[in-house]
Amino acid sequence: MAEPARFSVLLPVYAGDTASFFSRAIASVTADQTLRPDELVIVVDGPVGAATREVLDAAGAGRITAGVPVTIVALPENVGLARALNRGLDACAHPVVARADADDISLPHRFERQVPLVAHGGIDLVSSAITEFHDDEAEPGLVRAYPTDHDAISALARFRDPFNHPAVVYRRDSIDAAGGYRHLDKMEDYWLFVRMINAGATVANVAEPLVLYRVGAGAYERRGGWTLLRSELKLQRWMRQIGFTTTRQWARNIAVRGGWRVVPTSLRRRVYGLAARTRDPQRAPRK
User: Residues 92-112: pLDDT tens digits?
Assistant: 999 999 999 999 999 999 999
* Amino acid (one-letter) located at 219: A
- The pLDDT of residue 2 is 61
Non-local (6+) Cβ contacts of 176 within 8 A are none
- The pLDDT of residue 5 is 80
Residue pLDDT, tens place only, 111-163: 999 999 999 989 999 999 999 998 899 898 899 999 999 999 999 999 999 99
- The pLDDT of residue 258 is 84
What confidence tier does 227 reach under pLDDT thresholds 50, 70, 90?
confident
Cβ-contact 148, 207 below 8 angstroms: yes
DSSP per residue over 50-118, as a string?
Answer: HHHHHHHHHHHTTTTTTT--EEEEEESS---HHHHHHHHHHH--SSEEEE--TT-EE-TTHHHHHHHHH
- The pLDDT of residue 282 is 45
Mean pLDDT of 60-81: 97
Question: Quick one: CA torsion of 34, 35, 36, 38, rounded to 10 degrees?
Answer: 170
Tell whether the model's pLDDT for residue 45 goes beyond 70: yes
What confidence tier does 218 reach under pLDDT thresholds 50, 70, 90?
very low
Give the span between the Cα atoms of 147 and 129, in whole angstroms.
9
Nearest in space to 168 (alpha carbons), one of 128, 110, 113, 117: 128
CA-derived radius of gyration, the chain: 18
What confidence tier does 40 reach under pLDDT thresholds 50, 70, 90?
very high
Distance of CA 82 to the CA centre of its chain: 12
**Domains contained in the chain, CATH given:** 7-217 (3.90.550.10)
Mean pLDDT of 202-207: 98
Tell whether the model's pLDDT for residue 224 goes beyond 90: no
**Average pLDDT along the chain:** 90
